[in-house]
Amino acid sequence: MLNVLVIDDSKLARNLIKKILVNEGYHVCGEASNGREGLEAFKTLKPDLVLCDIMMDEMDGLECLRAMLAVDPAANVVICTSAGDALHVKEALEIGAKEVLPKPVNSTDIVRIVNELFGRQEADRKTSYKAVLEERASQKGIEDKQILDFYAAFHQFTGLAFEDEKVDGKFLQENGPGIRIGVSALLSAKMSSDQAEDMMNVFESLYL
Protein backbone atom coordinates (compact mmCIF):
# COMPACT_ATOMS: atom_id res chain seq x y z
CA MET A 1 0.00 0.00 0.00
CA LEU A 2 1.33 3.44 -0.92
CA ASN A 3 2.19 5.60 2.11
CA VAL A 4 1.58 9.30 1.47
CA LEU A 5 2.58 12.38 3.48
CA VAL A 6 0.38 15.46 2.99
CA ILE A 7 1.85 18.92 3.65
CA ASP A 8 -0.50 21.92 3.37
CA ASP A 9 -1.20 24.90 5.64
CA SER A 10 -4.94 24.65 4.96
CA LYS A 11 -6.71 22.08 7.12
CA LEU A 12 -9.58 22.08 4.62
CA ALA A 13 -7.18 21.27 1.77
CA ARG A 14 -5.48 18.54 3.80
CA ASN A 15 -8.82 16.94 4.65
CA LEU A 16 -9.89 17.00 0.99
CA ILE A 17 -6.62 15.45 -0.17
CA LYS A 18 -6.71 12.80 2.57
CA LYS A 19 -10.29 11.88 1.66
CA ILE A 20 -9.35 11.45 -2.00
CA LEU A 21 -6.28 9.37 -1.12
CA VAL A 22 -8.19 7.06 1.23
CA ASN A 23 -11.03 6.62 -1.26
CA GLU A 24 -8.47 5.60 -3.88
CA GLY A 25 -6.93 3.01 -1.55
CA TYR A 26 -3.78 4.86 -0.48
CA HIS A 27 -2.60 5.21 3.13
CA VAL A 28 -2.05 8.70 4.57
CA CYS A 29 0.84 8.03 6.95
CA GLY A 30 1.10 11.64 8.15
CA GLU A 31 0.27 15.29 7.62
CA ALA A 32 1.84 18.66 8.38
CA SER A 33 0.70 22.28 8.29
CA ASN A 34 3.98 23.86 7.16
CA GLY A 35 7.25 22.95 5.51
CA ARG A 36 9.25 22.67 8.72
CA GLU A 37 6.81 20.20 10.24
CA GLY A 38 6.61 18.44 6.90
CA LEU A 39 10.37 17.98 6.70
CA GLU A 40 10.49 16.42 10.17
CA ALA A 41 7.57 14.12 9.29
CA PHE A 42 9.36 13.15 6.08
CA LYS A 43 12.51 12.18 7.98
CA THR A 44 10.54 10.13 10.51
CA LEU A 45 7.90 8.49 8.33
CA LYS A 46 9.92 7.92 5.13
CA PRO A 47 6.79 8.05 2.92
CA ASP A 48 6.60 6.62 -0.59
CA LEU A 49 5.07 9.86 -1.84
CA VAL A 50 4.81 13.45 -0.59
CA LEU A 51 2.11 15.90 -1.70
CA CYS A 52 3.34 19.36 -0.73
CA ASP A 53 1.76 22.80 -1.11
CA ILE A 54 3.94 25.77 -2.04
CA MET A 55 2.60 28.80 -0.16
CA MET A 56 3.12 28.07 3.57
CA ASP A 57 4.52 29.79 6.65
CA GLU A 58 7.66 28.66 8.55
CA MET A 59 9.11 27.01 5.43
CA ASP A 60 7.44 27.18 2.03
CA GLY A 61 7.00 24.23 -0.29
CA LEU A 62 10.03 24.94 -2.46
CA GLU A 63 12.34 25.19 0.56
CA CYS A 64 10.79 22.01 1.92
CA LEU A 65 11.30 20.29 -1.42
CA ARG A 66 15.00 21.21 -1.45
CA ALA A 67 15.42 19.98 2.12
CA MET A 68 13.65 16.67 1.48
CA LEU A 69 15.75 16.00 -1.60
CA ALA A 70 18.88 16.77 0.43
CA VAL A 71 17.79 14.01 2.84
CA ASP A 72 16.78 11.60 0.06
CA PRO A 73 17.61 12.56 -3.54
CA ALA A 74 15.24 9.81 -4.78
CA ALA A 75 12.24 11.17 -2.84
CA ASN A 76 8.95 11.24 -4.71
CA VAL A 77 7.71 14.77 -4.04
CA VAL A 78 4.74 16.19 -5.91
CA ILE A 79 4.16 19.93 -5.53
CA CYS A 80 0.56 21.16 -5.32
CA THR A 81 -0.21 24.64 -6.61
CA SER A 82 -2.69 26.58 -8.71
CA ALA A 83 -2.61 25.77 -12.41
CA GLY A 84 -1.85 29.40 -13.26
CA ASP A 85 1.28 29.61 -11.08
CA ALA A 86 3.69 29.02 -13.96
CA LEU A 87 6.75 30.53 -12.23
CA HIS A 88 6.56 28.23 -9.20
CA VAL A 89 5.72 25.23 -11.38
CA LYS A 90 8.89 25.77 -13.42
CA GLU A 91 11.05 26.26 -10.31
CA ALA A 92 9.61 23.19 -8.56
CA LEU A 93 10.40 20.95 -11.52
CA GLU A 94 13.90 22.42 -11.83
CA ILE A 95 14.57 21.70 -8.14
CA GLY A 96 13.49 18.09 -8.55
CA ALA A 97 9.75 17.71 -7.96
CA LYS A 98 8.53 14.60 -9.72
CA GLU A 99 5.32 16.28 -10.84
CA VAL A 100 3.10 19.30 -10.19
CA LEU A 101 -0.47 18.65 -9.06
CA PRO A 102 -2.92 21.46 -9.93
CA LYS A 103 -5.24 22.74 -7.22
CA PRO A 104 -8.03 22.15 -6.44
CA VAL A 105 -6.85 18.54 -6.27
CA ASN A 106 -9.00 15.80 -7.80
CA SER A 107 -8.83 12.01 -7.75
CA THR A 108 -8.21 11.69 -11.50
CA ASP A 109 -4.98 13.69 -11.34
CA ILE A 110 -3.77 11.88 -8.21
CA VAL A 111 -4.33 8.41 -9.71
CA ARG A 112 -2.66 9.48 -12.97
CA ILE A 113 0.41 10.79 -11.16
CA VAL A 114 0.67 7.74 -8.89
CA ASN A 115 0.45 5.36 -11.85
CA GLU A 116 3.09 7.35 -13.73
CA LEU A 117 5.45 7.27 -10.74
CA PHE A 118 4.81 3.76 -9.44
CA GLY A 119 3.43 1.86 -12.42
CA ARG A 120 0.93 -0.98 -12.46
CA GLN A 121 1.84 -2.13 -8.95
CA GLU A 122 -0.23 0.72 -7.55
CA ALA A 123 -3.01 0.23 -10.06
CA ASP A 124 -3.59 -3.06 -8.24
CA ARG A 125 -3.17 -1.50 -4.79
CA LYS A 126 -6.65 -2.47 -3.53
CA THR A 127 -5.58 -6.11 -3.25
CA SER A 128 -2.62 -5.27 -0.99
CA TYR A 129 -4.33 -4.71 2.37
CA LYS A 130 -3.89 -8.35 3.40
CA ALA A 131 -0.15 -8.25 2.74
CA VAL A 132 0.26 -4.93 4.57
CA LEU A 133 -1.72 -6.18 7.58
CA GLU A 134 0.36 -9.35 7.78
CA GLU A 135 3.63 -7.42 7.51
CA ARG A 136 2.64 -4.97 10.25
CA ALA A 137 1.33 -7.77 12.46
CA SER A 138 4.61 -9.64 12.04
CA GLN A 139 6.56 -6.52 13.00
CA LYS A 140 4.59 -6.38 16.25
CA GLY A 141 5.31 -10.03 17.01
CA ILE A 142 1.77 -11.21 16.33
CA GLU A 143 1.69 -14.93 15.51
CA ASP A 144 0.21 -16.47 12.37
CA LYS A 145 -2.58 -18.14 14.36
CA GLN A 146 -3.73 -14.78 15.72
CA ILE A 147 -3.78 -13.34 12.21
CA LEU A 148 -5.86 -16.27 10.97
CA ASP A 149 -8.21 -15.81 13.93
CA PHE A 150 -8.57 -12.16 12.90
CA TYR A 151 -9.46 -13.09 9.32
CA ALA A 152 -12.06 -15.58 10.59
CA ALA A 153 -13.58 -12.99 12.92
CA PHE A 154 -13.55 -10.36 10.17
CA HIS A 155 -15.44 -12.72 7.87
CA GLN A 156 -17.87 -13.66 10.63
CA PHE A 157 -18.64 -10.01 11.42
CA THR A 158 -18.71 -8.53 7.88
CA GLY A 159 -19.55 -11.52 5.69
CA LEU A 160 -16.51 -10.64 3.56
CA ALA A 161 -13.09 -12.22 3.15
CA PHE A 162 -10.42 -9.68 4.11
CA GLU A 163 -8.90 -9.89 0.61
CA ASP A 164 -12.28 -9.29 -1.07
CA GLU A 165 -12.11 -6.47 -3.62
CA LYS A 166 -14.87 -4.66 -1.70
CA VAL A 167 -12.44 -4.21 1.19
CA ASP A 168 -10.81 -1.07 -0.20
CA GLY A 169 -9.80 2.29 1.26
CA LYS A 170 -13.30 3.73 1.13
CA PHE A 171 -14.80 0.64 2.80
CA LEU A 172 -12.24 0.68 5.61
CA GLN A 173 -12.59 4.42 6.17
CA GLU A 174 -16.38 4.21 6.41
CA ASN A 175 -16.68 0.93 8.32
CA GLY A 176 -13.39 0.46 10.13
CA PRO A 177 -14.38 1.82 13.58
CA GLY A 178 -17.49 -0.36 13.73
CA ILE A 179 -15.60 -3.41 12.47
CA ARG A 180 -12.92 -2.82 15.09
CA ILE A 181 -15.49 -3.04 17.89
CA GLY A 182 -17.26 -6.11 16.49
CA VAL A 183 -14.17 -8.09 15.55
CA SER A 184 -12.43 -7.20 18.82
CA ALA A 185 -15.34 -8.71 20.73
CA LEU A 186 -15.08 -11.92 18.71
CA LEU A 187 -11.33 -12.12 19.20
CA SER A 188 -11.62 -11.77 22.97
CA ALA A 189 -12.83 -15.38 23.10
CA LYS A 190 -9.80 -16.66 21.16
CA MET A 191 -6.84 -14.77 22.61
CA SER A 192 -5.77 -12.57 25.49
CA SER A 193 -7.04 -9.00 25.67
CA ASP A 194 -3.52 -7.68 24.99
CA GLN A 195 -3.14 -9.89 21.90
CA ALA A 196 -6.56 -8.84 20.60
CA GLU A 197 -5.73 -5.17 21.18
CA ASP A 198 -2.43 -5.49 19.30
CA MET A 199 -4.19 -7.16 16.37
CA MET A 200 -6.90 -4.52 16.23
CA ASN A 201 -4.35 -1.71 16.41
CA VAL A 202 -2.69 -3.18 13.30
CA PHE A 203 -6.10 -3.29 11.59
CA GLU A 204 -6.83 0.29 12.65
CA SER A 205 -3.55 1.48 11.13
CA LEU A 206 -4.93 0.59 7.69
CA TYR A 207 -7.63 3.24 7.75
CA LEU A 208 -6.47 6.00 10.13
Q: State residue 117's pLDDT score.
A: 85
Q: Are 61 and 42 in contact (CB under 8 A)?
A: no
User: Does 118 lie in the same domain as 182?
Assistant: no
Q: State residue 107's pLDDT score.
A: 84
What global pTM score does this model have? 0.59
Greatest CA separation found in the chain? Answer: 61
Which pLDDT tens digit goes with each residue over 8-23?
999 999 999 998 888 7
> Phi/psi of residue 155, each to 5°?
-65, -40
Q: Is the pLDDT of residue 136 over 80?
A: yes
User: Does 132 lie in the same domain as 91?
Assistant: no
CA separation (Å) from 172 to 158, 182, 206? Answer: 11, 14, 8
Domain carrying residue 91: 3-125
Q: Is the pLDDT of residue 176 over 70?
A: yes
Mean pLDDT of all residues belonging to the chain: 87
User: Does 133 lie in the same domain as 112?
Assistant: no
* CA nearest neighbour of 53 among 67, 68, 32: 32
User: Does 79 lie in the same domain as 158?
Assistant: no
Separation of CA 89 from chain center: 25
Which pLDDT tens digit goes with each residue over 179-196?
999 999 999 999 999 999
User: Does 135 lie in the same domain as 58?
Assistant: no
Q: Domain tally for the chain?
A: 2
Q: State residue 135's pLDDT score.
A: 82
